[in-house]
Amino acid sequence: MVKIAVLGYGTIGSGVVEVLEKNRDVITRRAGEEIEVKYILDLRDFPEDPYADRIVHDYEEICQDPEISVVVEAMGGVEPAFTFAKKAILAGRHFATSNKALIAKHGAELIAMAQEKSVNCLFGASVGGGIPIIRPLNCCLTADVIEEISGILNGTTNYMMTKMADEGSDFDDVLKDAQQKGFAEADPTADIEGHDACRKIAILTSLVCGRQIDFEDIHTEGITKITATDFKYAKAMGRRIRLLGSSYKTGDSYCAMVAPYMLDDSSPLYGVNGVFNAVFVRGNMLGDAMFYGSGAGKLPTASAVVADVIDIVRHKDEHIPLEWRPEKLELVDYRQLTGRYFVRTTAQPAAIEKAFGMVTVVEAEGVTGETAFVTGEMDGYAYEQAAEQMGDILQCIRVK
Instruction: State the catalytic residues.
Output: 200
Helix (H, G, I), strand (E, B) or coil at 100: helix
Which residues on adjacent β-strands are paired with residue 289? 281
Cis omega (within 30 of 0) for bond into 80? yes
Q: Where are the alpha helices (DSSP H) in the chain?
A: 11-22, 24-31, 59-63, 81-90, 100-117, 134-135, 155-167, 171-180, 189-192, 195-209, 228-237, 298-314, 349-356, 380-390
Measured between alpha carbons, how far is 11 from 13 in angstroms, rounded to an integer? 6
Q: In the chain, what is the straight-line distance between the N-terminal and C-terminal CA atoms, in Å?
A: 51
Contact 306, 27 (CB under 8 A): yes
Residues in Cβ contact with 47 at an 8 Å cutoff, skipping those fewer than 6 apart? none
Question: What number of CA atoms fall less than 13 Å from residue 29's CA on the CB side?
Answer: 4
Contact 70, 122 (CB under 8 A): no
Question: How many Cβ atoms from other residues are within 10 Å of residue 288's Cβ?
Answer: 10
Amino acid found at 177? D
Which residues on adjacent β-strands are paired with residue 241? 262
Closest CA to 135 of 220, 207, 78, 192: 207
Contact 374, 399 (CB under 8 A): yes
